[in-house]
Structure 1
Amino acid sequence: MAHASDGRSLEFKLPDLGEGLTEAEIVRWMVEVGDVVAVDQPVVEVETAKAMVEVPCPYGGVVTARFGAEGTELPVGAPLLTVAVGESAADRPARDSGTGGAAAGSTPVEETKAGETKSGETKAGETKAGGSGNVLVGYGTSEAPARRRRVRPAQSASAAAPSGWANGRARDADAADGPVPVISPLVRRLARQNDLDLRELTGSGPDGLILRADVEYALRATAAQGARTAGPAPEPQAVAAQAPAAPAGRTSGGLRTPLKGVRGAVADKLSRSRREIPDATCWVDADATELMRARTAMNAAAGPRISLLALLARICTAALARFPELNSTVDTEAREVVQLDRVHLGFAAQTDRGLVVPVVRDAHARDAEGLTAQFARLTEAARAGRLTPGELTGGTFTLNNYGVFGVDGSTPIINHPEAAMLGVGRIVPKPWVHEGELAVRQVVQLSLTFDHRVCDGGTAGGFLRYVADCVEQPAVLLRTL
């Protein structure tokens, strides 16, 4: 995560944030060059595919450099900042504005082989990871010999870049056999998995840096062209020429928004669910009048208020105890259905950053009050972007209350790798035959989308009917408490 470069200066790298996360986007720097930081003081806020997190620095001293501007994506292990430690660091001025000091927002500049360290600086805005001038060639990959090319103060960005990068082609006499400049190893892997030659692309980043959007655009263009029955296939250069001038922003075709961070992770997961899970959906209308009355009676008594979602969650855990096949996952490599002995209940929460699914651990062991408290805590954390990776993963069954959006029904997409999801529509007054007479009752539509590999329609229907019976007659639930 860090190493000493000269005995007094320590380099802090983007740490492993857990749960398989391989990159993060810098959202906000919390320190500037010249600031004095304490051990474990948060120095930068980053957004991963799971959540927004503050990253603390394990060293105390003076910040001498920052790597990457806000909005830059960095892979795990990339340098974040350097800190001068020891007595000499404490004696340094907080903001050295002289010619030998680094300006706020500056980054060191160097040209070294991977693993070597040399000092040097440049002005703010001249260099940044994925920004103007500071191009990291092959960083974080196993391809050799990977070299970091960074602008020295006496050079311009164009002077430091290899010839040919200005027109987006990473080929010249020195770099013809070397790595192509890409924003992260994930981009290189994406191209490799799809047999895409990076040398045929025109990078839309600074100095021809190839971004993820460039690779994805080229893949889409190639797929679209291959689907046509008429006309010759375009040359690779023609596909590259279609790359957008910028990965995001308004173009002649409309507004482009990169799928990254939380939204990107959700998109990937939903796509994978549709590809891998043969799902089916069944639904039923239920009279929720008695459930609503029971909740009103609970909240009239002393103690914390009980949420409707908590009551539905308690019904779900009771139903899963009777139909454990739906609390499963499929091990595709072993071709086995793995039935799980604990219910970690996910619930869909809409936030400004997109849809997230926080997870209530051991929901089967919690009562209605405990579930209400957990839903409130996790919902607040989700809207603030403070959910940890552990609170967003590991779910075994998901409850989706889409009724809050004013809709009656839906066919939800299963939260991969789970086996089922219960959807709950809005509860509204409707005509209903009650005890042989037509009456106005509080009616809700319940839908269950399930993985047909783990059970058949009889099991899924039995689960949904039990849930509906508990909604219509909450006393049914007492039999399993």
Structure 2
Amino acid sequence: MAQVLEFKLPDLGEGLTEAEIVRWMVEVGDVVAIDQPVVEVETAKAMVEVPCPYGGVVTARFGEEGTELPVGAPLITVAVGERVPADSGGADTEGSGNVLVGYGTSEAPARRRRVRQERPGSGRDTAAGRDGTRPAAMAPAHASASNKVVDGQAGGSDSEDGPVPVISPLVRRLARQNGLDLRELTGSGPDGLILRADVEYALRAAGQGATAAPPAPGTAPTPEASLAPAPGETRTPLKGIRGAVADKLARSRREIPDATCWVDADATELMRARTAMNAAGGPKISVLALLARICTAALARFPELNSTVDTEAREVVRFDQVHLGFAAQTDRGLVVPVVRDAHARDTESLTAEFARLTEAGRTGTLTPAELTGGTFTLNNYGVFGVDGSTPIINHPEAAMLGVGRIVPKPWVHEGELAVRQVVQLSLTFDHRVCDGGTAGGFLRYVADCVEQPAVLLRTL
């Protein structure tokens, strides 16, 4: 007798609450083995192949390609114990016990049901009231303590004034910015979870009158949860990696009082040093690796810039290790992979790690861990053929060094006009962590190392 097991979108780690189905890798009726990838999804961090912990016959799939699903939503059902063809490899019917970034194959956790609450009459502050929405009656919903995101945090609350369950803090912010009371909505997601499509439908209905039916409860929203484009318009949803980058850049501009300083530097000697290194044999050294080595040496002298601001505690948090992020352009948008412990690596190791992470970014195989935890970012926008820029700090870091293209320019060298390899360097920094003197000292040291690479020998 076959037992049908439901496999849900697992917790993908790093606080991710939803993912978009990019490609199904199995069809209904297919035989799957334990830990066989069944679907490729895109999160706000990376592309991930999701393995199924059960072996058996696929009896159902949930969600079309392009659909966004919350963590905990059903992905497929598998009939475990079905007789399978002899040439199928005999899918094992037990769970693997393996873990996918915090997801195990043990029994599903017990579910708690949220009881519908009546409109409170006391007028005291509620969780929703504290974040800008009006206290009101709770919409019918059920919360799962194991996989719901409520007010941006995992787990639910059965308290009388508990917050409304929404798919992500971004949805809550969208409602708050438009004056929409989430407690007046009935979510169409699993167990009444309020999705972005629910909020956008309510906003359209409020502004134009309801001209279409809202999403049906228990069904996934369509990929295009946006207003119909006017003639001559093309609308592209800000979701996945591109949406996450947009949110992060907007938050940086909103929260960080940044300032930028820049300097031109003669990179002729740095380029000669690189040529000499590569002529000596062994792996080729990249310009980016040399600049990264200069960055880590500069941060050792000016550690104020290797930090972040804890706004709640009103403290500057300084880091001992340098986890160096670098901007990389991909077909899916801008990503910032992180080189761990960059301060402890030589130029060969840095070159190899930059190459590995860049290739993973192009193929969409960067893991969430490889895209988070940076303490300082290096942005080589010179690869786009531009000389200068004022970078936006990669929140919550405190600074970013920008590097323009290295090109021949007229330059006064040893008292005479000459053609030299010149680069413009720019530093955008959080003015809360240091003043202009520190930022200027950091940038000047970087420029000195670019102009005279021998300066680095003091710190190697």
With normalisation by structure 1, the TM-score equals: 0.73
Contact 1:200–1:237 (8 Å) recurs in 2? no
Q: C-alpha distance in 2, partners of 1:240/1:320?
A: 56
> Hey, what does 1:37 align to over in structure 2?
32
1: CA distance between counterparts of 2:329 and 2:21?
23
Q: How does 1:27-426 map to 2 (within 5 A)?
A: 27-86=22-81, 88-90=82-84, 144=140, 146=142, 184=167, 189-190=172-173, 193-194=176-177, 195-197=179-181, 212=196, 215=199, 236-238=206-208, 247=226, 250-252=229-231, 254-426=233-405
CA contact (8 A) 1:248 1:257 kept: no
Counterparts in 2 of 1:248 and 1:366: CA distance versus 1, 3 Å? farther
Which residue in the other structure is 1:176 paired with? none
Q: Deviations over 1:236-269 (max 9, x none)?
A: 34376799x9627753251000000000000000
Report deviation, 1:350.
Answer: 0.3
Checking the alignment, whether the CA contact within 8 Å between 2:166 and 2:172 is kept in structure 1 is no
Aligned-residue CA RMSD in angstroms?
3.3
Distance 1:63 1:275, change over 3 A: same
- Check whether the contact 2:112–2:142 (CA below 8 A) recurs between aligned residues: no
Aligned letter for 1:80? L
Please point out which of 13, 24, 35 is paired with 2:8: 13
Which of 1 and 2 has greater Rg?
A: 1
In 2, Cα distance between the equivalents of 1:406 and 1:240? Answer: 49
Query: Which range moved further: 435-444 or 209-218?
Result: 209-218
Q: Secondary structure at the match of 1:255?
A: coil
Task: Give the letter aligned to residue 8 of structure 1.
Answer: Q
- The answer as to whether partners of 2:339 and 2:354 remain within 8 angstroms in 1 is yes
1:12 counterpart SS class = strand
SS of structure 1 residue aligned to 2:372: coil
CA contact (8 A) 1:51 1:385 kept: yes
Distance in 1 between the 2:451 and 2:202 partners? 53
The whole-number CA distance in structure 2 between the counterparts of 1:254 and 1:466 is: 48
Give the Cα separation in 1 of the matches to 2:140 and 2:225. Answer: 29
Give the equivalent residue in structure 2 for 1:431: 410
Q: What amino acid sits opposite 1:38 in the alignment? A: A
Gaps of 5+ in 1: 1-5, 95-113, 117-141, 148-181, 222-234
Partner residue, 1:110: none
Would you say the 8 A contact 1:59–1:85 is kept in 2? yes
CA deviations on 1:135-185 (whole Å, 9 max, x unpaired) are xxxxxxx954559xxxxxxxxxxxxxxxxxxxxxxxxxxxxxxxxxx9956
| 2:151 counterpart residue number | none
Q: Secondary structure in 1 aligned to 2:417? A: strand
Contact 1:34 1:93 in 2 (8 A): no
SS at match of 1:431: strand
1:14·1:76 contact (CA, 8 Å) conserved in 2? yes
Give the number of aligned pairs. 380
Would the alpha carbon gap of residues 54 and 462 (structure 1) be closer, same or farther in structure 2, given more than 3 Å must change?
same
Structure 1: distance between partners of 2:228 and 2:36: 35
Give 1:426 shift: 0.4
CA 1:239–1:372 in 2, change beyond 3 Å: closer, same or farther? farther
Q: Flag the 1:217–1:34 CA change in 2: closer, same or farther, 3 A.
A: closer
Secondary structure of the 2:84 match is helix
Aligned to 1:459: 438
CA distance in 2, matches of 1:258, 1:238: 21
Kindly provide the CA deviation profile for residues 309-365 of structure 1, in whole angstroms up to 9, marking residues without a partner as x. Answer: 000000000000000000000000000000000000000000011000000000000
Report the CA distance between 1:215 and its aligned residue: 3.7
Q: Deviations over 1:198-221 (max 9, x none)?
A: 69999999xxx99636746977x9
Distance 2:211 2:415 in 1: 70
**In 2 relative to 1, CA 237–452 (structure 1 residues): closer, same or farther, beyond 3 Å?**
closer
Change (3 A) 1:183 1:37: farther
Sequence identity of aligned pairs in percent?
A: 82
- CA–CA separation in structure 2 for the residues paired with 1:330 and 1:217: 37
Alignment CA distance shift 1:350-1:191 (3 Å)? closer
1:441 to 1:248, Cα distance in 2 relative to 1, 3 A? farther
> Which residue type is aligned with residue 316 of structure 1?
C
- The separation in 1 between residues aligned to 2:287 and 2:141, in whole angstroms, is 60
> Could you say if the C-alpha distance between residues 471 and 63 of structure 1 is closer, same or farther in structure 2, counting changes exceeding 3 Å?
same
Could you say what secondary structure the match of 1:391 adopts? helix
CA contact (8 A) 2:141 2:187 kept: no
Structure 2: runs of 5+ lacking an equivalent: 89-110, 114-137, 144-164, 215-223
What TM-score, normalized to structure 2?
0.76
**Equivalent-residue separation in structure 2 for 1:213 and 1:144 (angstroms):** 17
Distance 2:243 2:370 in 1: 18
Separation in structure 2 between the aligned mates of residue 463 and residue 379 of structure 1, nearest angstrom: 27
1:298, CA displacement in angstroms?
0.4
Alpha-carbon distance, 1:193 to partner: 3.8
Contact 2:322 2:341 in 1 (8 A): yes
- What is the alpha-carbon distance in structure 1 between the residues aligned to residue 73 and residue 186 of structure 2? 24
